[in-house]
Amino acid sequence: MHTPFTNLTFCIRTFGCQMNKHDSERIAGMLEGMGALQVDAIEDADVVAFMTCCVREAADTRLYGQVASLKNVPLRAGTPLSKRIVAVGGCIGQRDGEKLVDELKHLDVVFGTHNLGSLPRLLEAALEEGSHQVEVLDAASSFPTELPTAREHEWAAWLPITIGCNNFCSYCIVPYVRGREKSRPLEDIVAEAERYVAAGVKEITLLGQNVNSYGRDLYGSPRFAQVLDALDQTGIERLRFATSHPKDLNDEVVGRFATLRSLMPALHLPVQSGSDAVLAAMNRRYTRDHYRALVAKLRDAVPDIALSTDIIVGFPGETAKDFEDTYRLVDEVGYHQVFTFIYSKREGTPAASMDDDTPREVIQQRFDRLVDLVQQRAFEANQRDLGSTVDVLVEGASKRDERLLAGKSPKNQTVHAPAPAGVRAEDLAGSTVRVRVDEAKTWYLAGEIVDGPDAADGR
Ligand code: 5AD
Ligand code: SF4
């Protein structure tokens, strides 16, 4: 079939969260399905699509800069086009719409978070008519119908189970650009998972802004534990999910960590702050003690569970004492990983109008102290695995050294080990090896293979 995209090349630049990365896989799937070829470098691409993020100001500024600088990139040799086609979608597309084409005159297509599936049509119109195409919808009427995916790895898949967010944390722009929470019917989720398992996928990561409230809109009450049960039944080797809101993580789900074969012993549970006053101002709707009780329950279920979190430093009005509460909580929990962010004011959110008079240097000092603690605790957490043997799902060759394989432990730690003699590390992607841990650093473990690789079936 010949389409306007046959023989065109495209590349996608993705900012932000896993949902965006997944949306990029869907775009790639659609464009490949229409005969276009994906390339890595912008120089080689006839069509460039940006999947954007506006959660913090830095990503916002970078996007405008990157799109502007595209003007200076020459067209590839042999392109059938007289001009490179540039599209911006995702959260900034949703928020800024027409404003983007007003500021960036060479931009051809703007789309939002609710109409990914319209991108081929918008690109086609831009190609044929040579005019700007801007389409941003207010909301998705239901969970979007399935679009094809071109996955980054054959052996891993992201699977969205909800889109949007109803929580309105006071600092966060996401509910405004991703809309209200919509759950995907359980049968659709299971059918997609079964297709992945049949195709040899080893690991599925369920996605949603708050997976714990899955099903509230469809079934009247959350049914996330039932999603986990159904996915476990598909025979998937490894199951993970992101993200969880502490106010909605219930005992049923906590219990599943102990009972479900496939559910990996790692959980990302963003706390944002350890101060009750700040948590209230953030509209998080839980307290420090509630969070600590959750951690205790999780460790009762799986003593060795690896916890990770997100923390915002410098929320408006954060006092020295508030920060100490956060510092102590991080110290106490002993996370494997903490994503630390300096508060970024987002117009249109309630926090944007709160008094914010803490000096920048003070916030930076708090941030630096916290990062030191995070690294120390991460190092200690990994040290506890010295001498143990872990199952590693191989991702490919290590970026440090191509003779080393790199993969993930059940607790989601990066693990390196020399590939067996005569085997290229990159050829082991998707298989599982057992590694004895001889070295434990802050951000990775290293050791020797003691068993495997298993047959990388389905490949
Ligand atoms: N400023 C700083 N960090 C933010 N996050 C969300 N909004 C903001 C903001 N305005 C962080 C939160 C969230 C993560 C994805 O991004 O910690 O969990
Ligand atoms: Fe943003 Fe809060 Fe929703 Fe997460 S739960 S996306 S932080 S509003």
**Ligand 1 centre from 55 Cα, in Å?**
6
| Distance, CA of 28 to CA of 34 (rounded, Å) | 10
Query: Residue 191: is its pLDDT beyond 50?
Result: yes
392 closest CA partner among 413, 419, 421, 378: 413
**Beta pairing, strands 47-52 & 9-14:** parallel
**Selection from 285, 290, 288, 353 nearest residue 317 by Cα:** 353
Q: Who wins on pLDDT, 310 or 142? A: 310
Q: Which tokens belong to 14?
A: 């993705």
214-229: average pLDDT: 94
Place of tokens 């991460």: 378
CA distance 1 to 60: 38
Q: Which ligand is nearest to the CA of 354?
A: 1
CB atoms within 10 A of CB 168: 13
Average pLDDT over residues 285-306: 98
Ligand nearest to the backbone CA of 210: 2
pLDDT computed for residue 456 by the predictor: 45
| Strand ranges inside 282-431, DSSP E | 306-313, 337-342, 389-397, 404-408, 414-418
Please classify residue 428 by burial: count the beta carbons closer than 10 Å to its beta carbon, then call 0-12 exposed, 13-18 middle and 19+ buried: buried
User: Cα–Cα distance between 67 and 70 in angstroms, integer?
Assistant: 5
Per-residue model confidence (pLDDT) at position 382: 98
Atom 6 of ligand 1: nearest residue by CA position: 172
Residue-wise pLDDT for 48-78, tens only, equals 999 999 999 998 889 999 999 998 899 999 9
Ligand 2 centre to CA of 425 (Å) is 38
Per-residue pLDDT tens digits for 426-452:
999 999 999 999 999 999 999 999 998
Average pLDDT over residues 419-426: 94
Task: List residues forming the annotated binding site.
Answer: 17, 53, 91, 165, 169, 172
Q: Residue 154: CB partners within 8 Å, gap ≥ 6? A: 199, 200, 201, 429, 430, 459
Q: What is the pLDDT of residue 20?
A: 95
**Across 141-157, average pLDDT:** 85
pLDDT tops 70 at residue 148? yes
pLDDT > 90: percent of the chain:
91
The owner of tokens 């959980």 is 267
| Shortest-distance ligand to the CA of residue 168 | 2
Q: Is the pLDDT of residue 458 over 70?
A: no
Kindly state the average pLDDT of the residues 336-344.
Answer: 98
Across the chain, which distance is largest between two alpha carbons, in Å? 65
**Cα–ligand 2 centroid distance for 349 (angstroms):** 12
Integer CA distances (angstroms), 436 to 281, 409, 416, 445, in order: 46, 11, 10, 10
CB atoms under 10 Å from CB of 301, counted, come to 17
Q: How far are the Cα atoms of 30, 50, 169, 418 from residue 107, in angstroms, in the given order? A: 21, 11, 32, 46
The pLDDT assigned to 45 comes to 98
Taking residue 392's Cβ as centre, other Cβ atoms within 10 Å add up to 29
- Ligand 2 pocket by Cβ (under 6 Å): 165, 167-169, 172, 174-175, 209-210, 245
Confidence of residue 454 (pLDDT cuts 50, 70, 90): confident
Averaged pLDDT score across all residues of the chain: 95
Whether the Cβ atoms of residue 93 and residue 110 lie closer than 8 Å to each other: yes
Cα 246 to ligand 1 centroid, rounded to whole Å: 15
φ, ψ dihedrals at 48, nearest 5°: -120, 125
CB neighbourhood size of 80 (10 A): 9
Q: Domains of the chain, with CATH numbers?
A: 7-133 (3.40.50.12160), 154-382 (3.80.30.20), 386-449 (2.40.50.140)
| Residue 412 · residue 397 · CB < 8 Å | no
Nearest Cα residue to 108 out of 80, 85, 75: 85
CA dihedral 419, 420, 421, 426 (to 10 degrees): -40
Q: pLDDT-based confidence at 425, cuts 50/70/90? A: very high
**Cα(7)–Cα(281) distance, rounded to whole angstroms?**
53
Q: Angle at the Cα of 223 (from 219 to 228), degrees rounded to 5?
A: 145
Among 3-7, 184-188, 277-281, 325-329, which stretch is predicted with the lowest mean pLDDT? 3-7
Rounded CA gap, 86 and 65, in Å? Answer: 14
Considering the chain, what percentage of its residues have pLDDT values greater than 70?
A: 99
Q: What is the mean pLDDT of residues 351-364?
A: 96
CB 408 within 8 A of CB 416: no
With 80 as the cut, is the pLDDT of residue 327 above it?
yes
Q: How confident is the model at residue 206 (pLDDT cuts 50, 70, 90)?
A: very high
Measured in angstroms, how far is the CA atom of residue 328 from the centroid of ligand 2?
A: 23
More confident residue, 269 or 152: 269
pLDDT of the residue at 459: 36
In the reported structure, the alpha carbon of residue 398 is separated from the centroid of ligand 1 by a whole-number distance in angstroms of 30
How many beta carbons lie within 10 A of that of residue 404, not counting itself?
16
Residue whose Cα lies nearest atom 1 of ligand 2: it is 172
Annotation: binding site for [4Fe-4S] cluster: 17, 53, 91, 165, 169, 172
What was the pLDDT predicted at 59? 87
Q: How many helices (H) and strands (E) does the chain have?
A: 14, 19
Q: How many CB atoms lie under 10 A from the CB of residue 373?
A: 18
- The best mutation among 310, 335, 342 to test binding of ligand 1, ranked by most ligand atoms within 8 Å of the C-beta, falls on 310
Q: What is the pLDDT of residues 238-283, one digit of tens each?
A: 999 999 999 999 999 999 999 999 999 999 999 999 999 999 999 9
Q: How confident is the model at residue 291 (pLDDT cuts 50, 70, 90)?
A: very high
pLDDT value of position 52: 96
Lining residues, ligand 1, CB within 6 Å: 55-56, 171-172, 270, 272, 310, 312, 341, 343-344, 346
